[in-house]
Structure 1
Amino acid sequence: MAMEYGQGYGLDVPERHRLPAGLRAPFEARHWRELIYVLIGLPISIVLFTYSVTMVSLGAGLLVTFLGIPVMAAGLAGCRGFGALERARARGLLDLEVADPEPLRIRKQGFLAWMGAVLKSGASWRALLYSVLHLPWATFSFTVAVTFWSIGWGLLTYPLWFWLFPLYGGQDGMQLYGDETHSVYLDNAFEITVTALVGLLFTLATPWIVRALTTVDRLLVHGLLGPSRLATRVVELESDRGVVVDTAAADLRRIERDLHDGAQARLVALAMDLGLAKEKLAEDPQAAARMVDEAHGEVKIALQELRDLARGIHPAVLTDRGLDAALSSVASRCTVPVEVQVDLDERPVPAIEGIAYFTVSELLQNISKHSRATWAAVDVWRVENRLMLQVVDNGVGGADTTAGSGLAGLTERLDAVDGILVVDSPVGGPTRITAELPWRTV
């Protein structure tokens, strides 16, 4: 694994504004996009509600005949199409990225198979539920948004158009109160100014009210028109299974390569040397003895290579004595002093224990190769149902999961077993890498 140290991060400098957010909000593009979303949401919801209720009611009424099923399926399919439209509308106006729901699982060709897939799909029924629930909400949000927006801008601009009342309306100004005996008009400078200030308050509050309204829309779109949690989890498990298979295949190729290029090649050369020594045994015993002595040295090297290879597959000390002894052993081979602290009352399952061992082992190898550290520490502990690992060093920092393939590959391996890898490594150090693994016991 190769970890990249000493690389800087690209920092996005936030744009500075002279006006505070509360004052510039009514003029920002985001507010107008959200307002447009609310305004066009009502007519779309009316069409969607009418279509879905009509089709589903008609289909349910015709279920006594065969026509009810295709009508119901067509209604649900239409709701899925409206769902795609709503996701696109939310993406364009609310900057909300919602993945498409799980596709229809059509096992056979034909119209009957398609109808069955539509009726069995949870995404179809969630789209129908969205079409029913969104109309009352769209009506409410449309009413609130239009009311606040029109009152705010109307009162704010009142000083510009109040002259229309005495000129064309036959009254001094906008009527604030009136009955048979008394009327109050906003017609003097003080009242006009106060009216404009009230309009300013409404105008400044409108963007935040509209944003709160669209927050509910975001939840509806995300929760009902996106993939279900179960479908998302299935996709994650399929991806994790692929990572596990690829990792296992890569490990097998590495073991095969190490055997072929290391111990196997050395044993082949050893067999040839012993064959030559056997031929020279009668003619030149001294030369044969030297060749046997050299072969003896080769045997020791081959045995050491096999031990290293076996340790790389699964160290015996981990199986026999657990993480504490195994991590102390791997820490002793690091080029910098390493403090190891393992606080576990019991051992996790061998699979999790092995992943924890190799995670720490690879991180310590990278400290030796890249960090230029003079000190490192390894802490292992348990928090409820999670096994926590933390490796710290005082090196140059700059480790990043995107800078090199090492940490990215380690992240994928941990993710395959519902683990997490968190890297905190500012340029200049120190580096703190924390891993979480699920705690599972035998």
Structure 2
Amino acid sequence: MGPCMSKKEGSTEWSETQTARKDSTTKPVPIQDGLDANAQVSPQPPSNNNQPYTIEVFDEAPPKYQESPWTCPSGVRKVLDLLKAASKVNYGGHKGAWAAFKERHGQIWLDSAYTLHPLTSRAILLYAAVRLLVGNALGSNTTFYFTTFPNVETDQLSDVELNTLKALMKVMNARTFRLACELISQDETALAGQDLKDFISNDANFLKDDTADEKLVKLLAFTRQKMKGFWHGWDGRDLDFKKLRSLHKKACKESEKQPKLLNNTSFIYQMAVDGYKRQLKSGTIYPVSCTLILGTRLEPAEVDAIQKCQLEGGKASNEAAKQAHSRKKAPLWRRPTQPEPDSAAKNAGSVAEELGQVGHQFCIQAIVFTDHLNHQAKEAYLKVDNYRQGKPDDINDVTFVSEARLLCNFLSPLWLFKTTTSHDPRVDGWNELRAKPQYNEENIADKTV
């Protein structure tokens, strides 16, 4: 027989082995000849509690968190550098392109006609986005509007006023004169006091030979005039670029509902001037810069209406200046760095001369994208720009911009300065401005955009 052991010896050895396995304080440890079951190891992982620590106190705060150059797209870096360069442009006491953002209230109108070329829409959004982001960073008071769509969620309207606005919008979207008349009858309560029913009943408002479509266009124009008192925008502080883009897309979509009334430009000029006149009448005087970012054509018939608005706006701006002087307060449009002109000290009524030196209380700057405008439309905008040129009541300035160049290069720092400081008439005649390129030299995007 081969080697063997007694039952007692085998049982004792097996019992010891089982005890060793159950003992939580021992684990098998590999050795040269195998496992040593009796080796002792700690079941707890190594602890850092006994490790020495060093506490250091620094005199300066850690570096500010910001994107590293290798994580920020090159196009974004170029735009940031461009905006910084624009902030260093000084002329006529204006310290940088963004100084007016803190000194003046801003109104920015985005063209939202559905007929806009896709590149034009992108250019409008790009320029508006820069104004939005820089304005919010500086804490500016800026309101954004769309030329075809009011804010129907504003808290500035009561429930009754909001119902009136929505009823007016329903009439505006009517495709036929008959349907518009039916809507006016259906919403008679909401439209009370808007005179739409009287308008369609008065034969003097239409020619004898007017077709139904011609009557509709006249009714739509009248209805849009009634909407002015209910037309509110969006506070820039409540917007980011994503929200702005979404609203612009919605406004363009809304404009598709009414293709019969496309001439919005003169209406927007009138809205801006009327708003400032209401402000003046209320006794609330503060400087306002209105920027229109446009891409649709201007009809020759609209020029006369806009020029009339310019006269009214210039008169309102001068009246605001007179009221400021009559109260013997420093003019609100003057920067603290500017000395008070002798004209104000000697003759408080010489407002026109002083406005030519320090700027207008109210001004309208039109950024007009021209790549997809015909010659006739450009000439119409030129007439608007040249009207009252050099006169003390010239509150209007037009800057022609190529959407392709803006998307590829953006504006140069000096020309950015021009579009934000147009309330000072001296800027438009600045020789250095005309001698410098209108667009930035570096590409901010691929030219295939």
TM-score of the aligned structures, taking structure 1 as reference length: 0.21
The structure where helix makes up a greater share of residues is: 1
